[in-house]
Amino acid sequence: MPTNRQRLRLALLRIFATCTPFLQHPPRRARGDGLRILVIRPDHIGDLLFATPTLRVLRKAFPDAHLAGMVGPWAKAVVERIPHFNEVIICPFPGFTRRPKGSAFAPYRMLWEWANRLRTRHFDMAIVLRFDHWWGALLAYLVGIPYRLGYAVAECEPFLTTAVPYVSQRHEVQQNLTLVAQAIRDCHRDMPQDPGHLEFFVAEQDREYIAHYLAECGVAADEAMIVIHPGAGAAVKEWQAESFAQVADAIVAHWRARIVLTGSRDDLDKVWSIYARMRGEPIVAVGHTTLGQLAALYQRSRLVIGPDCGPLHLAVAVGTPTVHLYGPVDKHKFGPWGPPERHLVLTSSRSCIPCNRLDYTAQELPDHPCVREITPEMVLDAIRKLLG
């Protein structure tokens, strides 16, 4: 159910759209060559990777277009490894910084500043890839971009020239592909054939770095290695350290593989908690890799295990088998995008799954153990299916 604040915002957005008809530029849809296209995607690693098939299709359909990606600073390392943008515009989108909320007026002040900044860029088309990103839709409207494409969501639709239905239970990759298919049709182009896989370019220097790093850690060139990534960006999505440790010890005993623990610096406490509970001594790679080097590490591994998070989707993108622990987030919409026999998703039997809520307080967490109820044996069974 929407909150009172959300209802008020929706009402004000609709009033604003009604009272500013002078900003409703007629769309130009017949052009193809030389288009200037702005793609707005404010999200973090996983959602940027989900967008890669769409960006590839967009580039194939408009090979001569100037394609600009507007992303957050947290996504810069991802888009640097996506070859389809001519330009990357970094914007610290309000609501996506994962910091405490500031003034209620700050998002609107930033909106006006960015509209002034982009107005002289003369974009022909804006594509808002996130379904509920009213801020991005309103930005394209204020900039005066003639063709504005997004999803038919109440907060966004008043500011779009073309709105495509957002279909429940459709994967995010399919949602984005369906969206850009509309733009391609409107420009009288054929929809390119594409395998639809996720994409992340792993540089040779990153592979060389990982080979050197692992050698320093005593890992032989042909030695089997399995990665555990425990961090998830939201406490309700995380698994217990003792369960990870139990799985890690079983992997060492049964598959004779070295265990590598990865994560951001914010995950250090979780990683050391797993380390302390293991019988063996894993490699702790936290703080030793860039995103590109992490991708190379995953590519070198037999398997990556962890909760619903961007780095697990990075492992999918580089072709490494994965085991994902899901709870509150809908696996059908946001699960791994790859061959299901290589990327397994585990959930507990809770009937409330998925609720798609991530903002539980520390006091509420004990009553929401959806991920914590996944057992180590369930994870080990999944590993057996993948590795034998």
Please state, in angstroms and rounded to a whole number, the distance separating the CA atoms of residues 82 and 194.
16
Which segments in the chain show pLDDT lower than 50?
A: 22, 26-30, 32
Helix (H, G, I), strand (E, B) or coil at 179: helix
| pLDDT for the residue numbered 5 | 65
Strands 225-228 and 303-307: parallel
CB 308 within 8 A of CB 329: yes
| pLDDT for the residue numbered 264 | 92
Helix (H, G, I), strand (E, B) or coil at 17: helix
Please state, in angstroms and rounded to a whole number, the distance separating the CA atoms of residues 112 and 314.
34
| pLDDT for the residue numbered 102 | 65
| pLDDT for the residue numbered 355 | 94
How far, in Å, are 34, 37, 131, 132, 187 from residue 158 at the CA level?
27, 20, 14, 12, 22
Q: What is the pLDDT of residues 196-249, one digit of tens each?
A: 999 999 999 999 999 999 999 999 999 999 999 999 989 999 999 999 999 999
The DSSP string of 312-373 is HHHHHHTT--EEEE-SSS-HHHHS--S-TTTEEEE----TT---------TTTGGG--TTTT
| pLDDT for the residue numbered 104 | 72
38 closest CA partner among 127, 116, 120, 117: 127
How far, in Å, are 40, 76, 301 from residue 199 at the CA level?
18, 15, 18
| pLDDT for the residue numbered 30 | 41
Which tokens in the block code for residue 225? 């290695």
Number of H helices, E strands in the chain: 14, 12
Q: Is the dihedral of CA 146, 150, 155, 158 positive or negative?
A: positive
Ordered by where they begin, the domains of the chain are 4-186 (3.40.50.2000), 204-387 (3.40.50.2000)
Q: What is the pLDDT of residues 154-176, one digit of tens each?
A: 999 999 999 999 998 899 999 99
Which tokens in the block code for residue 223? 């030695």
| pLDDT for the residue numbered 169 | 86
| pLDDT for the residue numbered 29 | 44
Please state, in angstroms and rounded to a whole number, the distance separating the CA atoms of residues 311 and 231.
9
| pLDDT for the residue numbered 18 | 62
